[in-house]
Amino acid sequence: MGGMIRFHNTLGGEVEDFVPIEPGQVKLYTCGPTVYDFPHIGNWRAYIFEDLLKRFLAFRGYKINHVMNITDVDDKTIRGAQARGVGLDEYTRPFIEAFGRDRDTLNILPADHYPRATAHIPEMVELVKTLLEKGFAYRRDGSIYFAIDRFPAYGRLSKINLEDLRPGSRGDADEYEKESVHDFALWKAPKEGEPFWETVIGPGRPGWHIECSAMSVKYLGKTFDLHCGGVDNIFPHHENEIAQSEAANGVKFVNTWLHCHHLVVDGEKMSKSKGNFYRLADVLAKGYDPLDVRYLLLSTHYRKMLNFTFEALDQARTARQRIGDFLGALKDVSGTATDGAPIDPLIEAARDGFVAGLDDDLNIAEALAAVFTLIKNVNPLLARGEVSKEEAAKVAAFFAEIDTVLAIKPSPTIAGSGKIAKGGYAASGTASVSGGGGISATGEALIADRQKARAAKDFATADAIRRELLAMGIVLEDAKDGVRWKKVGPPKG
């Protein structure tokens, strides 16, 4: 199954075959949250892209060692803690907890390690010491800086204009603009009211970039396979990580760099500082399923900009419902052998398309197209009663298989479905994908007839009625406590 996995490597800018250092094993580092605030869904786009990458590699048989750092000491966390008059630990704790909760809600697999910067001060100090000894770093006014002109490969990842390089000029801010390329702080002198550590390189606290170099080598080794983040991480953060690690270790830092494009709002990067952000809770408060959000963030190729709108979120919900309705119809199949078209080749074609798409630099659009083609091809067979129970189970098993990658858990019992109690029926609750309303009297009568047929074990009649309802746009799912119905509109988008 599948050929070679190919990824677009930011380092070099080409799509390349993916060859891990150790066969069958992938060492992955992804830059994690700066825990000075709650994450917004722009951050989640990055983490969901990384989750798709991970889940697909696992699907393709790789074992993954994934490290994600937690930045719990930097300019922003220190500022926040000061403003609240609490210690760093107390200040960052609720944001770390919220990160874990949202991650689980979005069906993102946890990393194998979540090293915190404040728990790795000795490792960072050791690395800065090495850089001083090797002559890549120098001291100035109690701080220690990386001298970028002593590292000739500086700028290779981000392809910054070398004319902008200003060797010898220094910056202390953790984040800075391309326009002022300069020596960056590895270790910062203590400041009034700021936390600091007494260490062998002097008192102070780490700059932002050093933690990722120190923690990746600890958990993954000097050279590892994949490193990810959003495109905003490329410069200066990842450029600086490469400089620190390669200068200290003398070997290549990372083989393949993958960066996802931004989630934007009206063309502007969703960010805390611009105020144009939504948190997961804001979106859920409007009645969306968290996995609708996951689907939306997942379904655009990671290297494309994604504009966030609620219309797009509605389309994501519709797409998940379409899959859920299909799964509901599969569950409802109770017939035996048929003489319809064989199902196996349809499933194989879908699996091939799904894998080939994701093999090609995680081309999710192609992968999803293969899935929806399967639905399109099987639906008329279902409507004509040409799918056996066994075949339906095979199709459902395929969906379970690909959901280990997509993790969008489409379920036929999603919000908005009406519920009919056992023994009678009451078409209570609103239905419909596309705007409300119950079902017609005819629909209700048909559902009641079908319940009677099922009670009498007349499954042929029950199935015939179900197909009739399907033709009316009403999908049924038999549940333990009765039957659920849902109206389906024509799929959008």
Site residues (vs ligand AMP, CB under 6 A): 31, 33-34, 42-43, 45-46, 229-230, 232-233, 260, 262-263, 269-271
- Nearer CB in complex with ligand AMP: 313/371: 313
CB of 282 to ligand AMP, least distance (A): 15
CB of 31 to Zn ion, least distance (A): 3
135 backbone dihedrals φ, ψ, rounded to 5°: 80, 15
The three-class DSSP label of residue 59 is: helix
Q: Which residue is nearest to Zn ion (CB)?
A: 212
Q: Does 181 bind Zn ion (CB under 5 A)?
A: no
490 backbone dihedrals φ, ψ, rounded to 5°: -65, 140
Q: How far is Cα 471 from Cα 468, in angstroms, rounded to an integer?
A: 5
Other Cβ atoms less than 10 A from the Cβ of 243: the count is 27
- Nearer CB in complex with ligand AMP: 274/376: 274
- Nearer CB in complex with ligand AMP: 94/167: 94
The three-class DSSP label of residue 15 is: strand
CB of 227 to Zn ion, least distance (A): 8
Partner from ligand AMP, Zn ion, none contacting 42, C-beta within 5 to 8 A by type:
ligand AMP
Partner from ligand AMP, Zn ion, none contacting 128, C-beta within 5 to 8 A by type:
none
Query: Which helix or strand (DSSP H or E) is residue 373 part of?
Result: helix 364-383
- Nearer CB in complex with ligand AMP: 233/321: 233
- Nearer CB in complex with ligand AMP: 64/453: 64
Residues 6+ apart with CB under 8 A from 290: 105, 106, 107, 280, 284
Q: Parallel, antiparallel, or unpaired for β 143-146 and 6-9?
A: unpaired
* 262, 302 contact by CB (below 8 A): no
Q: How far is Cα 455 from Cα 169, in angstroms, rounded to an integer?
A: 82
Binding pattern for the stretch 207-246 against Zn ion, x by CB under 5 A and - elsewhere: -----x----------------------------------
Partner from Zn ion, ligand AMP, none contacting 271, C-beta within 5 to 8 A by type:
ligand AMP
Residues 6+ apart with CB under 8 A from 220: 27, 28, 29, 65, 67
* 34, 77 contact by CB (below 8 A): yes
CB of 271 to ligand AMP, least distance (A): 6
CB of 43 to ligand AMP, least distance (A): 4
CB of 182 to Zn ion, least distance (A): 19
Binding site for Zn ion (CB under 5 A): 31, 212
